[in-house]
Amino acid sequence: MGWFHRGGGGFVFRDYGVAPAGRVENALPTRPLGTFGKGAWGMFGQCREIRRRDFLRLAAGAAVAGGAGLWALRTAEAASSGGCVPGAKIGIQLYSVRDQMARDAVATVAAIAEIGYAEVEFAGLYGRTAEQWRRTLRELGLRAPSSHDDLLGGDARQILENARTLGQRWVIQPYYRGGTLDDYRRVAERLNEVGELGRPYGIKAGYHNHAHEFEPMEGSFPYAVLLEETDPRLVDMELDLYWAIEGYYTYGNPDARPLALFERAPRRFRLFHVKDGFPSRPGVQFADVGEGEIDFAPIFAARELSGVEHYHTERDDAPSDPEGSLGSAQDMYDNLVAEYGAGSRR
């Protein structure tokens, strides 16, 4: 599979291979540290300024490249209508400020609203009831479209009741690691069950990935099983962009690339975790959104293919001190809005 790169003489098709052993090398477009729109997909950086001639240039290149240019063509098509992130759909996974939430949850969420976020994604209720949080969110002008919950071992009916009170559309399994594909088939079955229970409330189940779901296993890989075995009417996916790309580099699985996933399962990815870092480097290295190497532009531009509706920032290793964690939340929001934001958050 290849990608279009912006070379000195315009756009050229480049075929990226997989290293014969170990991590993939030089396989995905990245941007220089601390910059937006300067990497291989720099033309998409300012999504509000995408021009039709850019689309036509990529489309022509895709025609020359044949089937291998499908990604560029579809991304260009999406970008031609604008690849921006609606301000009203930008949120944060509150795990990013978990230490502050543990100290003073209400004050922390108020600070998140003050930063400018329109949405929050809960990871626990921090000793308060769903009704208390519903009132707080209403006072702060925030929405909570989703939450992370233990759907595999928790009380699904209570989780769904809380979600209904908060006005959510999804309850999401945040983590699972199995040893066989049959383990993931059982997870898919459970997600379908929760999604069926949520139907009367208009709530679907969801699954949030890490890197290990992309490890080749038994002729397939776990994430493929989750996509194949879950019912799209009942279950959507929350794609963690950093972890998917980390899975690509770690396991050499080309199907872990976000655009490849969108092609495999169109419109299944209603939520993104917009998470940055340095997945091409050995080990796990996070960064604030906009300060790592991931080029989000082609991913966001393919929104018609992915089906994404919500963009939640997250940093797994955010500092524990208030200034550090809320400062990280501020930086992630500012960087995302500055480059891709469109419209009011309300």
Query: Could you tell me the pLDDT band of residue 331, with boundaries at 50, 70 and 90?
Result: very high
Asked if 236 and 204 count as a contact pair (C-beta separation under 8 A), the reply is yes
Would the pLDDT of 241 be above 60? Answer: yes
Is the pLDDT higher at 81 or at 199?
199
Would the pLDDT of 242 be above 70? Answer: yes
Question: What CA–CA distances, in Å, run from 247 to 22, 91, 153, 178, 294?
Answer: 12, 24, 26, 16, 14
Would the pLDDT of 275 be above 90? Answer: yes
Between CA 342 and CA 82 the distance in angstroms is 10
Per-residue pLDDT at 24: 57
Pairing verdict, β 276-277 and 341-342: unpaired
Per-residue pLDDT at 309: 98
- pLDDT tens digits, residue range 7-64? 233 222 222 233 333 555 444 545 433 333 333 333 334 454 333 344 445 445 544 5
- pLDDT tens digits, residue range 160-173? 999 999 999 999 99
* % pLDDT > 70, the chain: 75
Alpha helix segments (H runs only) across 127-172: 130-140, 156-166
- pLDDT tens digits, residue range 4-20? 222 233 222 222 233 33
Asked if 160 and 191 count as a contact pair (C-beta separation under 8 A), the reply is no
Per-residue pLDDT at 84: 84
Between CA 208 and CA 219 the distance in angstroms is 22
Would the pLDDT of 300 be above 80? Answer: yes
Between CA 96 and CA 319 the distance in angstroms is 9
Would the pLDDT of 110 be above 60? Answer: yes
Topology classification of domain 86-342: TIM Barrel (3.20.20)
Is the pLDDT higher at 262 or at 66?
262
Question: What CA–CA distances, in Å, run from 161 to 132, 145, 165?
Answer: 14, 14, 6
Would the pLDDT of 240 be above 60? Answer: yes
What are the residue ranges of CATH 3.20.20.150 in the chain? 86-342
Question: What CA–CA distances, in Å, run from 304 to 40, 51, 53, 174, 293?
Answer: 21, 18, 20, 25, 24
Per-residue pLDDT at 343: 66
Between CA 188 and CA 326 the distance in angstroms is 35
